[in-house]
Amino acid sequence: MANARTPLIAGNWKMNQDHQEAIHLVQKLAWALKDGKHDYSAVEVTVLAPFTDLRSVQTLVDADKLELSYGAQDVSQHVSGAYTGEISPVFLAKLGAKYVAVGHSERRQYHGEDDALVNAKSKAALAHGLVPIICVGEALEVRKAGDQVAHTLAQVDGALDGLSAEDASKVVIAYEPVWAIGTGEVATPQDAQEVAGAIRARLAELYSSEVADAVRVLYGGSVKSGTIAELMKETDVDGALVGGASLDAEEFAKIARYQAHAGA
């Protein structure tokens, strides 16, 4: 169903691509999108690169006046100071980053990030002009127990706690069932819609229908060019957070051109 939200296709490179490889990948992606006459106003495309790549990506995007945006995969909840190893949202904003992933399941699993930290990071991002892509989603045991909606909505509640309606309307929420990440197990479009629809309904309850209508809800988990079109037909799926397939420029550009191969 048509809505006012511009779809977003975001590539999460994870810990891949050094700063030289990043230049090559962005060039290849920009060419592939150009070859496909990609209309960025119809489908926004962004890449979430390792911190060490951002300066290279910025230089290339600026020099070639690319419409592609870029961002990071994590951010500190602090602005500056004695936080060894952390990266400030101010630094990211200064490098022209637009988005930052917050609370990715790999951060939650390997770095113990909880909803309170995801909330603090989201607030820090927003305070410095970055758009947090807040990642939520259930593990396999939770899905087997049929608790995916309740589990995911609890993560949404935690991430948004204390955010104003104005700030909440700016965020992107990525529903990524953990069992579908990097496994080749893509959720069915109906699975994605069930939870994406519940997230939007929760936004309406917590804020208003205006906020619910403004927020883009992405699906993530083994998305490929062959599966994206069906996912995008779902009312509440506004794009994808793509991991492995975003490292292949042609494949990622094809995902961004889902309308062409959907016959839509």
Q: Which of 44, 113, 138, 176 is catalytic?
A: 176
According to DSSP, the residues that pair with 48 across neighbouring strands are 12, 71
CB of 244 to ligand G3H, least distance (A): 4
The reply to whether 176 belongs to the active site is yes
**Angstrom distance (rounded) from CA 164 to CA 168:** 6
As annotated, the binding site includes 12-14, 182, 222, 243-244
Q: Position of tokens 């893509």?
A: 186
Q: Which of 38, 44, 104, 106 is catalytic?
A: 104
CB of 241 to ligand G3H, least distance (A): 4
Cα angle: 140, vertex 144, 145; to 5 degrees: 120
Which residue's beta carbon is nearest to the bound ligand G3H? 243
The reply to whether 138 belongs to the active site is no
CB of 242 to ligand G3H, least distance (A): 5
Question: Which of 43, 78, 95 has its CA nearest to residue 256?
Answer: 43
**Angstrom distance (rounded) from CA 2 to CA 260:** 16
Question: What CA–CA distances, in Å, run from 94 to 54, 71, 98, 193?
Answer: 10, 11, 10, 36
Is 30 or 247 the residue whose CB approaches ligand G3H more closely? 247
**Angstrom distance (rounded) from CA 163 to CA 231:** 29
As annotated, the binding site for substrate includes 12-14, 182, 222, 243-244
Interface ranges with ligand G3H (CB under 6 A): 12, 104, 176, 181-182, 220-223, 241-245
Is 33 or 241 the residue whose CB approaches ligand G3H more closely? 241
Is 189 or 221 the residue whose CB approaches ligand G3H more closely? 221
Is 172 or 245 the residue whose CB approaches ligand G3H more closely? 245
| Sign for the pseudo-dihedral over CA of 28, 221, 241, 121 | negative
CB of 80 to ligand G3H, least distance (A): 28
Query: What residues act catalytically?
Result: 104, 176
